[in-house]
A = this chain, B = another copy of it.
Protein backbone atom coordinates (compact mmCIF):
# COMPACT_ATOMS: atom_id res chain seq x y z
CA UNK A 1 0.00 0.00 0.00
CA UNK A 2 1.58 3.30 -1.08
CA UNK A 3 0.66 6.21 1.13
CA UNK A 4 1.33 9.83 0.31
CA UNK A 5 2.02 11.89 3.39
CA UNK A 6 0.82 14.98 1.54
CA UNK A 7 -2.72 13.77 1.24
CA UNK A 8 -5.24 14.03 4.05
CA UNK A 9 -7.32 11.31 2.48
CA UNK A 10 -4.31 9.01 2.44
CA UNK A 11 -3.53 9.90 6.05
CA UNK A 12 -7.03 8.76 6.86
CA UNK A 13 -6.47 5.42 5.14
CA UNK A 14 -3.09 5.22 6.83
CA UNK A 15 -4.77 5.44 10.20
CA UNK A 16 -7.18 2.67 9.30
CA UNK A 17 -4.32 0.62 7.93
CA UNK A 18 -2.08 1.11 10.95
CA UNK A 19 -4.67 0.40 13.57
CA UNK A 20 -6.69 -2.15 11.59
CA UNK A 21 -9.81 -0.55 13.00
CA UNK A 22 -12.99 -0.01 11.03
CA UNK A 23 -13.28 3.47 12.48
CA UNK A 24 -16.43 4.53 10.68
CA UNK A 25 -18.60 1.53 11.40
CA UNK A 26 -21.39 1.37 13.95
CA UNK A 27 -20.90 -1.75 15.95
CA UNK A 28 -21.44 -3.58 19.19
CA UNK A 29 -18.45 -5.16 20.88
CA UNK A 30 -19.01 -7.64 23.70
CA UNK A 31 -16.15 -7.18 26.13
CA UNK A 32 -17.38 -9.48 28.86
CA UNK A 33 -20.25 -11.94 28.62
CA UNK A 34 -20.03 -14.07 31.75
CA UNK A 35 -21.88 -13.77 35.03
CA UNK A 36 -20.47 -13.42 38.51
CA UNK A 37 -16.83 -14.33 38.25
CA UNK A 38 -14.42 -13.61 35.39
CA UNK A 39 -12.50 -16.56 33.97
CA UNK A 40 -9.68 -16.64 31.43
CA UNK A 41 -12.21 -17.53 28.73
CA UNK A 42 -15.09 -15.25 29.70
CA UNK A 43 -14.96 -11.81 31.28
CA UNK A 44 -17.74 -10.13 33.22
CA UNK A 45 -20.34 -7.67 32.00
CA UNK A 46 -19.43 -4.96 29.56
CA UNK A 47 -20.73 -4.11 26.11
CA UNK A 48 -19.31 -1.37 23.90
CA UNK A 49 -21.35 0.56 21.33
CA UNK A 50 -19.19 2.39 18.80
CA UNK A 51 -21.06 4.95 16.70
CA UNK A 52 -19.64 7.66 14.48
CA UNK A 53 -16.38 7.96 16.38
CA UNK A 54 -18.03 7.88 19.79
CA UNK A 55 -17.90 4.99 22.22
CA UNK A 56 -20.44 4.07 24.89
CA UNK A 57 -20.11 1.32 27.45
CA UNK A 58 -22.89 -0.54 29.15
CA UNK A 59 -21.47 -1.81 32.46
CA UNK A 60 -17.79 -2.12 33.20
CA UNK A 61 -16.85 -5.36 34.95
CA UNK A 62 -13.31 -6.21 36.03
CA UNK A 63 -11.00 -6.61 33.05
CA UNK A 64 -13.01 -4.38 30.71
CA UNK A 65 -9.98 -2.26 29.80
CA UNK A 66 -7.86 -5.32 29.01
CA UNK A 67 -10.63 -6.79 26.89
CA UNK A 68 -10.94 -3.46 25.10
CA UNK A 69 -7.23 -3.60 24.28
CA UNK A 70 -7.87 -6.97 22.59
CA UNK A 71 -10.79 -5.58 20.57
CA UNK A 72 -11.19 -2.90 17.92
CA UNK A 73 -12.26 -0.38 20.57
CA UNK A 74 -10.06 2.24 22.15
CA UNK A 75 -11.03 4.35 25.15
CA UNK A 76 -10.16 7.64 23.43
CA UNK A 77 -13.64 8.17 22.03
CA UNK A 78 -15.43 7.04 25.18
CA UNK A 79 -18.27 9.47 25.86
CA UNK A 80 -20.39 7.78 28.50
CA UNK A 81 -20.64 4.67 30.64
CA UNK A 82 -24.05 3.39 31.66
CA UNK A 83 -23.97 1.30 34.84
CA UNK A 84 -26.88 -1.04 35.48
CA UNK A 85 -26.27 -1.79 39.15
CA UNK A 86 -23.59 -2.05 41.79
CA UNK A 87 -22.88 -5.77 41.84
CA UNK A 88 -19.13 -6.13 41.45
CA UNK A 89 -19.22 -8.04 38.16
CA UNK A 90 -20.80 -4.96 36.55
CA UNK A 91 -18.64 -2.19 38.02
CA UNK A 92 -15.26 -3.43 39.26
CA UNK A 93 -13.51 -2.46 36.03
CA UNK A 94 -14.54 1.20 36.20
CA UNK A 95 -11.83 2.54 38.57
CA UNK A 96 -9.07 0.89 36.54
CA UNK A 97 -10.44 2.09 33.21
CA UNK A 98 -10.64 5.66 34.47
CA UNK A 99 -7.17 5.36 36.01
CA UNK A 100 -5.68 4.17 32.73
CA UNK A 101 -7.30 7.07 30.86
CA UNK A 102 -5.66 9.42 33.38
CA UNK A 103 -2.29 7.80 32.65
CA UNK A 104 -3.10 8.27 28.95
CA UNK A 105 -3.48 12.04 29.58
CA UNK A 106 -7.18 12.14 28.71
CA UNK A 107 -8.65 15.61 28.93
CA UNK A 108 -12.18 15.12 27.59
CA UNK A 109 -14.94 14.85 30.16
CA UNK A 110 -16.57 11.49 30.71
CA UNK A 111 -20.20 10.94 31.67
CA UNK A 112 -21.05 8.13 34.06
CA UNK A 113 -24.71 7.24 34.45
CA UNK A 114 -25.90 4.79 37.08
CA UNK A 115 -27.74 4.14 40.33
CA UNK A 116 -27.70 6.46 43.31
CA UNK A 117 -24.42 5.84 45.11
CA UNK A 118 -22.14 6.64 42.18
CA UNK A 119 -21.10 9.92 43.81
CA UNK A 120 -20.37 8.26 47.15
CA UNK A 121 -18.29 5.55 45.46
CA UNK A 122 -16.29 7.88 43.25
CA UNK A 123 -15.68 10.40 46.03
CA UNK A 124 -14.38 7.60 48.30
CA UNK A 125 -12.05 6.43 45.55
CA UNK A 126 -10.76 9.98 45.12
CA UNK A 127 -10.28 10.42 48.85
CA UNK A 128 -8.12 7.29 49.01
CA UNK A 129 -6.17 8.14 45.83
CA UNK A 130 -7.44 5.00 44.11
CA UNK A 131 -8.67 7.51 41.54
CA UNK A 132 -7.28 10.93 40.80
CA UNK A 133 -9.04 11.92 37.59
CA UNK A 134 -7.33 14.56 35.52
CA UNK A 135 -10.51 15.10 33.51
CA UNK A 136 -14.08 15.91 34.46
CA UNK A 137 -16.35 13.08 35.56
CA UNK A 138 -19.96 14.06 34.91
CA UNK A 139 -21.94 11.82 37.21
CA UNK A 140 -25.64 11.26 36.64
CA UNK A 141 -27.43 9.28 39.35
CA UNK A 142 -30.64 7.86 37.95
CA UNK A 143 -33.61 8.27 40.24
CA UNK A 144 -36.57 7.67 37.94
CA UNK A 145 -37.30 6.23 34.50
CA UNK A 146 -36.73 8.59 31.58
CA UNK A 147 -34.10 10.15 29.35
CA UNK A 148 -30.68 10.19 31.02
CA UNK A 149 -28.41 11.29 28.13
CA UNK A 150 -29.24 13.17 24.97
CA UNK A 151 -27.63 14.81 21.95
CA UNK A 152 -29.03 16.10 18.64
CA UNK A 153 -28.70 12.64 17.12
CA UNK A 154 -29.70 10.19 19.83
CA UNK A 155 -30.94 9.71 23.34
CA UNK A 156 -30.49 7.15 26.07
CA UNK A 157 -33.37 6.29 28.38
CA UNK A 158 -33.40 4.26 31.60
CA UNK A 159 -36.15 2.10 33.03
CA UNK A 160 -36.49 0.00 36.15
CA UNK A 161 -35.34 -3.62 36.09
CA UNK A 162 -36.08 -6.10 38.86
CA UNK A 163 -32.99 -7.55 40.46
CA UNK A 164 -31.81 -8.14 44.02
CA UNK A 165 -30.71 -4.51 44.28
CA UNK A 166 -31.64 -1.31 42.41
CA UNK A 167 -30.95 -1.94 38.74
CA UNK A 168 -31.47 0.11 35.59
CA UNK A 169 -31.86 -1.03 32.00
CA UNK A 170 -31.02 1.31 29.12
CA UNK A 171 -32.29 2.06 25.63
CA UNK A 172 -30.04 3.76 23.11
CA UNK A 173 -32.11 5.31 20.35
CA UNK A 174 -31.09 7.35 17.33
CA UNK A 175 -33.55 10.00 16.21
CA UNK A 176 -35.07 9.45 12.78
CA UNK A 177 -33.02 10.99 10.00
CA UNK A 178 -34.67 12.99 7.15
CA UNK A 179 -35.64 10.99 4.09
CA UNK A 180 -33.26 10.77 1.13
CA UNK A 181 -33.16 13.80 -1.19
CA UNK A 182 -34.77 12.98 -4.57
CA UNK A 183 -32.46 14.77 -7.01
CA UNK A 184 -34.50 13.95 -10.10
CA UNK A 185 -37.67 15.29 -8.53
CA UNK A 186 -35.88 18.44 -7.42
CA UNK A 187 -34.63 19.01 -10.95
CA UNK A 188 -38.10 18.38 -12.40
CA UNK A 189 -39.53 20.96 -10.02
CA UNK A 190 -36.98 23.49 -11.27
CA UNK A 191 -35.15 23.90 -7.95
CA UNK A 192 -31.72 25.39 -8.62
CA UNK A 193 -28.80 23.40 -7.20
CA UNK A 194 -27.14 25.07 -4.20
CA UNK A 195 -28.33 26.34 -0.83
CA UNK A 196 -31.97 25.51 -1.64
CA UNK A 197 -31.13 21.78 -1.58
CA UNK A 198 -29.58 22.09 1.88
CA UNK A 199 -32.49 24.10 3.26
CA UNK A 200 -34.98 21.50 2.07
CA UNK A 201 -32.89 18.72 3.60
CA UNK A 202 -32.89 20.59 6.90
CA UNK A 203 -36.69 20.75 6.81
CA UNK A 204 -37.15 24.31 5.54
CA UNK A 205 -39.50 25.25 2.70
CA UNK A 206 -38.16 27.43 -0.11
CA UNK A 207 -39.75 29.81 -2.65
CA UNK A 208 -38.65 29.62 -6.27
CA UNK A 209 -38.14 32.71 -8.47
CA UNK A 210 -41.47 31.93 -10.15
CA UNK A 211 -43.20 32.18 -6.76
CA UNK A 212 -43.81 28.45 -6.34
CA UNK A 213 -43.34 27.26 -2.75
CA UNK A 214 -41.56 23.89 -2.35
CA UNK A 215 -42.05 21.95 0.86
CA UNK A 216 -39.42 19.47 2.16
CA UNK A 217 -41.86 16.60 1.72
CA UNK A 218 -41.98 17.38 -2.04
CA UNK A 219 -38.37 16.25 -2.48
CA UNK A 220 -37.55 14.07 0.52
CA UNK A 221 -38.35 10.38 0.86
CA UNK A 222 -39.75 8.85 3.99
CA UNK A 223 -37.93 9.62 7.25
CA UNK A 224 -35.26 6.98 7.86
CA UNK A 225 -35.55 5.29 11.23
CA UNK A 226 -32.50 5.36 13.47
CA UNK A 227 -31.10 2.40 15.31
CA UNK A 228 -32.56 1.39 18.63
CA UNK A 229 -30.92 -0.94 21.12
CA UNK A 230 -31.82 -2.06 24.61
CA UNK A 231 -29.53 -3.38 27.36
CA UNK A 232 -31.33 -5.28 30.11
CA UNK A 233 -28.96 -6.81 32.63
CA UNK A 234 -29.59 -8.06 35.43
CA UNK A 235 -33.29 -8.74 35.83
CA UNK A 236 -36.14 -11.14 36.19
CA UNK A 237 -38.81 -10.74 33.46
CA UNK A 238 -40.39 -7.33 34.06
CA UNK A 239 -42.29 -4.47 32.50
CA UNK A 240 -39.27 -2.16 32.44
CA UNK A 241 -37.30 -4.54 30.23
CA UNK A 242 -40.24 -4.89 27.83
CA UNK A 243 -40.64 -1.09 27.68
CA UNK A 244 -36.97 -0.58 26.86
CA UNK A 245 -37.00 -3.30 24.24
CA UNK A 246 -40.09 -2.05 22.35
CA UNK A 247 -39.41 -2.39 18.60
CA UNK A 248 -35.63 -2.27 19.04
CA UNK A 249 -33.24 -3.50 16.38
CA UNK A 250 -31.26 -5.33 19.00
CA UNK A 251 -32.16 -6.42 22.50
CA UNK A 252 -29.19 -7.38 24.66
CA UNK A 253 -30.72 -9.32 27.51
CA UNK A 254 -29.19 -11.21 30.40
CA UNK A 255 -29.53 -14.95 30.33
CA UNK A 256 -27.77 -16.23 33.39
CA UNK A 257 -29.56 -19.56 33.09
CA UNK A 258 -30.70 -21.64 30.10
CA UNK A 259 -34.41 -22.09 29.51
CA UNK A 260 -36.05 -24.50 31.94
CA UNK A 261 -34.26 -23.12 34.98
CA UNK A 262 -36.80 -20.34 35.57
CA UNK A 263 -37.34 -21.22 39.22
CA UNK A 264 -33.67 -20.87 40.14
CA UNK A 265 -33.33 -17.80 37.90
CA UNK A 266 -36.21 -16.02 39.58
CA UNK A 267 -34.91 -16.92 43.04
CA UNK A 268 -31.55 -15.32 42.21
CA UNK A 269 -33.10 -12.27 40.49
CA UNK A 270 -32.11 -13.41 37.00
CA UNK A 271 -33.59 -14.54 33.68
CA UNK A 272 -33.30 -17.65 31.58
CA UNK A 273 -32.76 -17.56 27.84
CA UNK A 274 -36.46 -18.42 27.46
CA UNK A 275 -37.37 -15.42 29.64
CA UNK A 276 -35.22 -13.22 27.41
CA UNK A 277 -36.86 -14.69 24.30
CA UNK A 278 -40.33 -13.98 25.69
CA UNK A 279 -39.29 -10.38 26.34
CA UNK A 280 -37.95 -10.03 22.77
CA UNK A 281 -41.15 -11.47 21.33
CA UNK A 282 -43.44 -9.34 23.50
CA UNK A 283 -41.50 -6.18 22.65
CA UNK A 284 -41.28 -6.93 18.93
CA UNK A 285 -37.49 -6.75 18.98
CA UNK A 286 -35.76 -7.62 15.70
CA UNK A 287 -32.82 -9.52 17.15
CA UNK A 288 -31.93 -10.88 20.59
CA UNK A 289 -28.40 -11.25 21.94
CA UNK A 290 -28.00 -13.21 25.14
CA UNK A 291 -25.26 -12.23 27.56
CA UNK A 292 -24.33 -12.59 31.27
CA UNK A 293 -24.17 -16.33 30.68
CA UNK A 294 -23.45 -18.55 33.65
CA UNK A 295 -19.87 -19.76 33.71
CA UNK A 296 -21.28 -23.17 34.61
CA UNK A 297 -22.23 -23.72 30.98
CA UNK A 298 -19.10 -23.50 28.81
CA UNK A 299 -21.17 -24.74 25.86
CA UNK A 300 -23.41 -21.86 24.92
CA UNK A 301 -25.65 -23.89 22.64
CA UNK A 302 -27.85 -24.87 25.58
CA UNK A 303 -28.92 -21.24 25.98
CA UNK A 304 -30.02 -21.09 22.33
CA UNK A 305 -31.61 -24.52 22.16
CA UNK A 306 -33.86 -23.69 25.08
CA UNK A 307 -35.27 -20.44 23.67
CA UNK A 308 -35.17 -20.60 19.88
CA UNK A 309 -38.71 -21.96 19.64
CA UNK A 310 -39.94 -18.78 21.34
CA UNK A 311 -37.81 -16.24 19.43
CA UNK A 312 -35.82 -17.40 16.47
CA UNK A 313 -33.45 -14.52 15.69
CA UNK A 314 -31.22 -15.05 18.71
CA UNK A 315 -27.53 -15.57 19.36
CA UNK A 316 -25.46 -16.04 22.50
CA UNK A 317 -22.66 -13.52 22.87
CA UNK A 318 -19.05 -14.49 23.40
CA UNK A 319 -16.20 -12.31 24.58
CA UNK A 320 -14.85 -10.02 21.85
CA UNK A 321 -17.78 -10.71 19.53
CA UNK A 322 -18.15 -7.69 17.24
CA UNK A 323 -21.42 -7.06 15.42
CA UNK A 324 -21.69 -4.49 12.67
CA UNK A 325 -25.01 -2.65 12.89
CA UNK A 326 -26.97 -1.69 9.82
CA UNK A 327 -29.83 0.74 9.90
CA UNK A 328 -33.05 -0.69 8.61
CA UNK A 329 -33.16 1.20 5.35
CA UNK A 330 -29.58 0.20 4.59
CA UNK A 331 -30.23 -3.50 4.92
Q: Which residues of A contact B (CB under 8 A)?
A: 36-40, 43-44, 62-63, 65-66, 69-70, 85-89, 91-93, 95-96, 99-100, 103-104, 117, 120-121, 124-125, 127-131, 165
Q: Can you list 29 pairs linking A and B with CB atoms under 8 Å apart?
A: A36-B100, A37-B100, A37-B103, A38-B65, A38-B66, A38-B96, A38-B100, A39-B69, A40-B66, A44-B96, A62-B63, A63-B63, A63-B66, A86-B130, A87-B99, A87-B130, A88-B130, A88-B131, A89-B96, A92-B95, A92-B99, A92-B130, A117-B127, A117-B128, A120-B124, A120-B128, A121-B125, A121-B130, A129-B165
Q: Determine the chain B residues whose CB is within 8 A of the CB of A120 once the complex forms.
A: 124, 127-128
Other than A43-B66, A87-B130, A92-B99, give 18 A-B pairs with Cβ distance below 8 A.
Answer: A36-B100, A37-B99, A38-B66, A38-B96, A38-B100, A39-B69, A62-B63, A62-B65, A62-B96, A63-B63, A63-B66, A86-B128, A89-B99, A92-B96, A92-B130, A117-B127, A121-B128, A124-B124
* Residue of chain B at shortest CB distance from A61: B96
Query: How far, in angstroms, from A85 to B62 measured CA to CA in the complex?
Result: 20
Name the residue on B nearest A70 (C-beta). Answer: B40
- Give Cα distance in the complex from A103 to B128, angstroms: 27
